[in-house]
Amino acid sequence: MEMKIIEGGVCAAKGFTANGVHCGIRKNKTKKDISLIVSENVASAAAVYTTNLVKGAPLIVTKNHLQDGHAQAIICNSGNANTCNANGIEIAEQMSELLAKELGIKADDVVVASTGVIGQPLDITPIANGIPSLIEGLGDHSDFAAEGIMTTDVQKKESALSFEVGGKECRIGGIAKGSGMIHPNMATMLVFITTDCSISSEMLSKALRGDIQNTFNMISIDGDTSTNDMVTILANGQAGNAEITSEGADFDAFMKALNTLTVHLCKCIAADGEGASKLIECKVTSAPSDAVAKGVAKSVICSSLVKAAMFGSDANWGRVLCAIGYSGCAVDVNKIDVSFVSAKGEVLVCKNGAGVDFSEELAKEILLENEITIAVSLNDGDIEATAWGCDLTYDYVKINGDYRT
């Protein structure tokens, strides 16, 4: 069985339902502001969290709940981050307890998340009032759940695929939110993943922690690492495969499926960066080490000047070399090649660290596309890495100038 893209998002895997509703956290009644994902049975669970020293109360509560490696439900509100609040932990625990009571599960089996404005008190009342309708509407509603976790996102982000483990068809799906305050070093956004593959919590954690180094930690929108971000995955085992408890062919198959899903979500997040008009991918090849390949790719993606040049469709390759130069990576600048690539073609703009003659007209045509790859060859090894970001537009400042008010 070949791996293939399917419909369903977080509801694609057997035994998972989801929903999203407006409960009253947001003033705009047309926007859903709370989401729920539920597994029919207790699932293996793993999560990774932001490295920001300021962490939202939901992350602290969730980390405590997942100490036993299991969970059965995920609840997430938008519109308020529940961060830097004196009663934040209490509110997050109340969310868990209220949901658990209505679902008939343990409060410790609830993953809690919040996203939105930092430093504003979160009233439990609308959440408490909204939980019954949230549960009543549970079904094949991954799209509702994806909508309910959006903040400044313009597009809903969800994906799913099927794959085979031990002769059994398994499914994995996810939803994500992320548009601003996104920068490498975990987790950079909220991502919720579900799978019916049977895998131990230890191996699930190993898979997730290994994957994020090449996916979610390779995104940057604006250089700000948020306070509330995490990636969580639940595996309920309903596919019926023999449980994955160690490395091997089955674990490799699961890792491949997880990576395929997360790369797609990474691109969705980067393309929907606040005010963005273009998805920018930096692919570094022929690097001497993984650290150098990743360091160079992230430095290029994070450069405000590179991002601004991409917005203006300006083939200013000198900014790419500049970003490589201050990356802190040991590279031989006299070996670097740079090309710009899109659906309109490819143009080489730098060879061995120096400019070459190229058609500005072709370069402009290539860079006018909404998906652009900055291809960097270091010509000093066989390691490669990819990072994702977006252009820097006028709208980014407009969005963040009055985000709180």
Instruction: Kindly state the helix (H) or strand (E) to which residue 304 belongs, with its residue range.
Output: helix 304-311
**Catalytic, out of 17, 188, 227, 386:** 188
Residue 117's Cβ-count burial label (10 Å; 0-12, 13-18, 19+) is middle
Cα–Cα distance, 108 to 93 (Å, whole number): 9
Contact 114, 76 (CB under 8 A): yes
Cα–Cα distance, 270 to 189 (Å, whole number): 11
Nearest to 280 by CA among 198, 323, 340, 213: 340
DSSP label at residue 140: B
Nearest to 191 by CA among 209, 181, 200, 178: 178
* Token digits of residue 178: 């992320």
Nearest to 90 by CA among 136, 126, 129, 121: 121
Instruction: Answer positive or negative: Cα dihedral of 43, 49, 55, 56.
Output: negative
Would residue 188 show up in a list of annotated catalytic residues for this protein? Answer: yes
* Token digits of residue 28: 């705009």
Residue 87's Cβ-count burial label (10 Å; 0-12, 13-18, 19+) is middle
Angle between helices 124-136 and 88-103 (to 10 degrees): 20
* Token digits of residue 162: 């099927």
Instruction: Kindly state the helix (H) or strand (E) to which residue 92 belongs, with its residue range.
Output: helix 88-103
What are the two backbone dihedrals, phi and then psi, of residue 13, each rounded to the nearest 5 degrees?
Answer: -75, 145
* Token digits of residue 399: 């969005």
Helices (H), 272-402: 290-302, 304-311, 317-325, 360-367, 394-401
Tell me which residue has tokens 């990356």.
Answer: 327
Type of residue found at 212: I
Give catalytic residues, as residue numbers: 188
